[in-house]
Structure 1
Amino acid sequence: MPTIVVDVMPKAELLDPQGKAVTGSLARLGHGQFQNVRIGKRVEMTVEGEVTDEVLAEAKKVAEEILSNQVIEDVISIEVV
């Protein structure tokens, strides 16, 4: 069965407290070369049958309306794996 993967990230212009905490921790642990870490989420949805354009359109709608908070997050990608 195919899987649709949706990646959601905080909007670039908003503070990402989780990412900031990880950036600070990496620096304290000697990994200061990594800057501006941002933490997002990945959602995997298994699909019964073929992934058609209609199924992808529905996945996009679900991603924008349910899986993300459009006030503070952007849907970065929707892909079939």
Structure 2
Amino acid sequence: MAKEKVVNANKRAGQLASAQNAYRARMRDEGFRRLQEWLPEGTMNALKAICERHGISQREAIIRSIRQELKNRGRAEEA
């Protein structure tokens, strides 16, 4: 029985990895690029508060912030 659980766990892990790889490929194909950064705790807390206040994802908050900055500089077409 224990061996069967290990086999099932390995199978599920393989399915999850495959699904994650497919998701990443779809995102790349749609023109998205991955961002992974470390933020100070206060900045992260502020980002979470902004997201909760506006009901948006962290990704959407970052996109909006960059678009607004470009708009302020008169270069919104780049976003």
**TM-score (norm: length of structure 2):** 0.24
More strand by share: 1
Which structure would you say has the larger Rg?
Answer: 2
More helix by share: 2
Higher relative contact order by CA 8 Å / sep ≥ 6: 1 or 2?
1
